[in-house]
Structure 1
Amino acid sequence: MLATAWSAVKDDDRTDRTLTALAEAFVSRGHRLYLVGGSVRDALLGRLTPDSGAVPEFDLDFTTDARPDVVTAILDEVAETVWDTGIEFGTVSAMFHGLIVEITTFRADAYDGASRNPEVTFGDTLDGDLVRRDFRCNAIALELSADGDHELRDPLNGLEDLAAGVLDTPAAPEQSFHDDPLRMLRACRFASQLGFSVADRVRTAMTDMADQIGRITAERVAAELNKLMLGAEPWTGLDMMVETGLADHVLPELPALKLTQDEHRQHKDVYAHSLQVLRNATELEGRLGDEVPDEARLVLRWAALMHDIGKPDTREFTDSGAVTFHHHEVVGARMTRRRLKALKYPKRQIQDIGQLVFLHMRFHGYGDGAWTDSAVRRYVADAGDLLPQLQVIVRADCTTRNKRKAARLARAVEDLDTRIVELREQEDLDAVRPDLDGNEIMTILDLPPGPAVGKAWAFLKELRLDRGPMDRDEAIAELKRWWGNQ
């Protein structure tokens, strides 16, 4: 395995030329250079390929025995651009052969236990640098040679963990997580991205120390959650968060779903249903298009996860013993916005995810084409640009084991899609607006700018949703008739 493990990158001529040229620059100055981190791990797993999506831009991280001032001097000679914004932490970045590289001097940091910010001290050995990293599978280094004969260094047996698909820490997990509690959430992220499990001692430490995640800022937590949510199996990472208690501190609405029995009775609880809907939505992402931006995928996946988050707060039982969750979508949208705001998500993402949660039950009023064209217009208008994600969530939300019911729901979704297409062919559904604009309203009704114009515009929009497009004369007549009754 050691002889062939680097073939995934070695076969990429551009990357190999970059590694060799960079190594030559350091070796010629009497220093050693090592490629470290996720790129080494992913190459060993066969994930660092042009079509893997693992590292789209092939950004590379290195460590070296050279001190930061020496690293800067070397890069100034050979790189296109050099920036030293991280130099106080021993990191110098550069654009080299069109790739972004980050080179960090060996570290031997000490932590104060109050934050995740270490007291930076530089080390003298590769082993000392690797032992301070988060997991052993990320503590494998590739020593670079000027002749291209690079050699793997694995003093902590990270290759064994890669082969076993296990996450374990170089040092005792209690010490590792005390130094940086974010590593616990990172374990959940790697479970999502790589499908790895965690060693028993790591799981125990995560469970015992879950409350330490409170030392991490909301922004850093959100960044890890996003990486987790965009992984191949986000439901795996989320389940690990819940089982270890991390979710109680960063996403408490998720474990709260375990308290609620699903009204369909096909799952043990709404928690399992929500993870299944997330899984379904992830598998249906292809319906959004060939190349879906990460932001659109994040919105879809978060909405799928949170769609039933309002059920615990709306649970009621009927006289017959049945359970109901009336208006859980309204409560859930509010809870979703509140949680994402606490995590300091961008305002647009908060609005979009909350709106999808709010709208996810709207489809269930549709059946056998019973909606009028007006109702279809309103559905499309309310969803706006989120319509593709909403239709994916509607499909993903069908987790019933009743094949007849599942087939009926699938037919209804397809029928609604067909009706939306038909209406789009007849009128511009994506830009539903009144047939008269504000200036025309003021001219026709002889009004100055003010609230009355907005009220008239809102009336015309409602009329447009109900009737569809009208010609100008008809719109003017309806506007005057409405104004005369005010």
Structure 2
Amino acid sequence: MPAQPEQRLTFATVISWCGADVAEHLLAVAGACRQDMFLVGGAVRDWLREGHGRPHDLDFVISGGAAEFVRRLARGLGRGTVVDLGDLEDDTCRLVLPGLVIDVAGFRDGARSIEADLVRRDFTINALAVDLFLARRDGAAPVVDPLGGRKDLIRKVIRACPGAFRADPLRLLRGIRFAAQFDFSLAADTVVRIRGAAPRIGEVAVERIAVECDQIMASTRAARAFADLAAYGLLHHLMPDLAHGEGVRQPACHHLDVLQHNLETLACLEQVLRCPQAHFLQSWQSLAAAAAEQGDRVALKWAALFHDVGKPATRAGGDGETGRITFHRHDERGADLFRDFAHHFCWSRKRTERVARLIGMHMHPFHLCNIIRRDGEISRRALLKLCRRAGDDLPALFLLAMADTLAGRGVERPVTVETELATLYDQVAETYQTVIRPVLTGPKLLTGTDLIATVGLEPGPLFRELLEGVEAAVVEGTVQNREEALAWVRDRLQGEAGAMQNDIEPTAGGV
């Protein structure tokens, strides 16, 4: 590769990032402490990549004494919150300002120069620095680049620094995350080192792992990243239930084993999210809107990755080459296994249940398609049941189902299943807007008070069953007003009373 022209970061650019007062106070404190000061890491990397906007966090390196440095900086500025990030072995401190986070660290592991400090960092694309004093004196300063990080940025390569994984095993995962975020590839020698050190990922706190995994899911290349985790030996240590799907054979409607199908479903979901109109011709706008918020996309992608995690534990049959393979209730088992995973990685209960519900429901659209294929139609009651259970995640459920079917390309896969799913969603979406939603959100024909005052019931579990039954009858069109609703309730109660009487009467010839 030909020599690259020297790129110099101007002091004016630094000021545009943090403000003149912050830049000058940084240098004033460094001067008072007789320390050099370097801007390092992500801000320099992203500036070299160009067009990545103003950074909201800046990393600086001094020779040592980060905590005292940051306290003096906060006093000089007269604002900001000091957060001590370090301990006896980690000389790091943070200043939180409105719209900006400043991290200051001392040289790492006994380093006595900026070059020696950079070599101790995680990846070459982050082992970059600019001398802040030099930038102010000359108006601009060159990038300090001891490991060829600039070349790796140009080549779009993630390459580990010497000793990176030994110093912090989380970097095994972080390198894959950087590759996903930037759409880079991992250097061949780095892949070899990741494979060799993979068991050490178990030494890392689960909270740190969870953050990296969520950042991977927030990228547009999550499927490739998790495929790398599997290929490099990390997935078995991080998500063993998912890894257990490797080699688990499926029926002929699938062309992949369970693990690869889960990974392929995530890949297909990313494809569907990029262009929902290619798969849902009529109602794609509502699907696109449902996946517009990053938290919604991330939850849906976790559901895609784990949707069939319950299959290895529920597999039956498949003896010989022609035996029929089944995975009865794998959706429910998968939801439970995901809850175990989420609990281990300290997820909130609300977030856990959202993803687990999608996993537990992911077969429902296919069941309804089977009913339509058999009977030619589907009842409004069945659509109401689906809408009630899925709630606001109804569009997400169909996005997941479409990704699931796209990921299964076996010889016995129904050729019309994608069209059937899209048509079903159109029907569900229209019925929900025109019939179901007005019933669920509008004035109620009956309330619990009515059941007490008019029918004479006492509050209990039967209340919900009866009120939901009335709503279903309204959706179906068999009940249209309050009088008909009361009649429906009385008929239901009389039917239950008759059934109970039959249960306790002796049959003819009984003892």
Instruction: Place the TM-score, normalised by the shorter chain, in its bin.
Output: 0.7 to 0.9
* Alignment-derived partner of residue 192 in structure 2: 204
CA shift in 2, pair 1:383/1:477, >3 Å: same
1:458 aligns with 2:465: yes
Matched residue SS, 1:427: helix
1:411-426 matches, cutoff 5 A: 411-426=419-434
Please give the alpha-carbon distance, in whole angstroms, between the structure 1 residues aligned to 2:324 and 2:485: 49
Task: Tell me which of 149, 153, 170 is aligned to 1:162.
Answer: 153
Matched residue SS, 2:405: coil
Task: Tell me which of 264, 273, 278 is aligned to 2:266.
Answer: 278
* Alignment-derived partner of residue 315 in structure 2: 315
Please give the alpha-carbon distance, in whole angstroms, between the structure 1 residues aligned to 2:201 and 2:119: 22
On the 8 A contact 2:123/2:160 being kept in 1, the answer is yes
Matched residue SS, 1:62: strand
1:112-151 matches, cutoff 5 A: 123-144=111-132, 145-146=135-136, 148-151=139-142
Please give the alpha-carbon distance, in whole angstroms, between the structure 2 residues aligned to 1:483 and 1:97: 63
1:9-48 matches, cutoff 5 A: 14-15=16-17, 17=19, 20-21=23-24, 24-26=27-29, 29=32, 30-46=34-50, 48=52
User: Deviations 1:142-181 (Å, cap 9, x if unpaired)?
Assistant: 3332264143111122223223333333224xxx323221
Please give the alpha-carbon distance, in whole angstroms, between the structure 2 residues aligned to 1:180 and 1:98: 29
* Bigger mean CA offset, 294-303 vs 24-33: 24-33
* Alignment-derived partner of residue 398 in structure 1: 405
CA shift in 2, pair 1:350/1:425, >3 Å: closer
Please give the alpha-carbon distance, in whole angstroms, between the structure 2 residues aligned to 1:36 and 1:426: 57
Where structure 1 has 5 or more consecutive residues not aligned to the other structure, the ranges are 110-122
CA shift in 2, pair 1:269/1:42, >3 Å: farther
Please give the alpha-carbon distance, in whole angstroms, between the structure 1 residues aligned to 2:297 and 2:155: 30
TM-score, normalised with respect to structure 2: 0.80
Please give the alpha-carbon distance, in whole angstroms, between the structure 1 residues aligned to 2:28 and 2:439: 58
Cα drift, residue 448 of structure 1: 4.4
Cα drift, residue 384 of structure 1: 0.6
Cα drift, residue 79 of structure 1: 5.8
On the 8 A contact 1:314/1:328 being kept in 2, the answer is yes
CA shift in 2, pair 1:72/1:271, >3 Å: same
CA shift in 2, pair 1:47/1:363, >3 Å: farther
Please give the alpha-carbon distance, in whole angstroms, between the structure 2 residues aligned to 1:463 and 1:5: 72
User: Deviations 1:304-352 (Å, cap 9, x if unpaired)?
Assistant: 1111112222323368434332322122222222222222211112111
Matched residue SS, 2:140: coil
Q: Which amino acid aligns with 1:474?
A: E
1:212-251 matches, cutoff 5 A: 212-251=200-239
* Alignment-derived partner of residue 119 in structure 1: none
Q: Which amino acid aligns with 1:446?
A: G
* Alignment-derived partner of residue 62 in structure 1: 60
TM-score, normalised with respect to structure 1: 0.84
Q: Which amino acid aligns with 2:38?
A: Y
Q: Which amino acid aligns with 1:152?
A: V
On the 8 A contact 1:374/1:467 being kept in 2, the answer is no
CA shift in 2, pair 1:64/1:311, >3 Å: same
User: Deviations 1:164-214 (Å, cap 9, x if unpaired)?
Assistant: 333333224xxx323221111112222322233333443333223322222
Cα drift, residue 302 of structure 1: 0.4
On the 8 A contact 1:377/1:429 being kept in 2, the answer is no
* Alignment-derived partner of residue 359 in structure 1: 361
Cα drift, residue 256 of structure 1: 1.9
User: Deviations 1:243-285 (Å, cap 9, x if unpaired)?
Assistant: 2221111111232222123424653423222222112212333
* Bigger mean CA offset, 297-306 vs 281-290: 281-290
* Alignment-derived partner of residue 481 in structure 2: 471
Cα drift, residue 226 of structure 1: 0.9
Please give the alpha-carbon distance, in whole angstroms, between the structure 2 residues aligned to 1:291 and 1:44: 32
Q: Which amino acid aligns with 1:321?
A: G
Please give the alpha-carbon distance, in whole angstroms, between the structure 2 residues aligned to 1:473 and 1:11: 74
Identify which of structures 1 and 2 has the higher relative contact order when contacts are C-alpha pairs closer than 8 Å and 6+ apart: 2
Please give the alpha-carbon distance, in whole angstroms, between the structure 1 residues aligned to 2:392 and 2:415: 27
User: Deviations 1:37-71 (Å, cap 9, x if unpaired)?
Assistant: 22322332336237xxxx6xx22222223633133
Please give the alpha-carbon distance, in whole angstroms, between the structure 1 residues aligned to 2:347 and 2:381: 35
On the 8 A contact 1:80/1:97 being kept in 2, the answer is no
CA shift in 2, pair 1:425/1:183, >3 Å: closer
* Alignment-derived partner of residue 94 in structure 1: 95
Please give the alpha-carbon distance, in whole angstroms, between the structure 1 residues aligned to 2:220 and 2:419: 29
Matched residue SS, 1:49: coil
* Alignment-derived partner of residue 245 in structure 2: 257
* Bigger mean CA offset, 400-409 vs 469-478: 400-409
On the 8 A contact 1:166/1:197 being kept in 2, the answer is yes
* Bigger mean CA offset, 316-325 vs 271-280: 316-325
CA shift in 2, pair 1:391/1:265, >3 Å: closer
Q: Which amino acid aligns with 2:43?
A: S
CA shift in 2, pair 1:180/1:310, >3 Å: same
Larger Rg: 2
CA shift in 2, pair 1:344/1:411, >3 Å: same
Cα drift, residue 6 of structure 1: 5.7
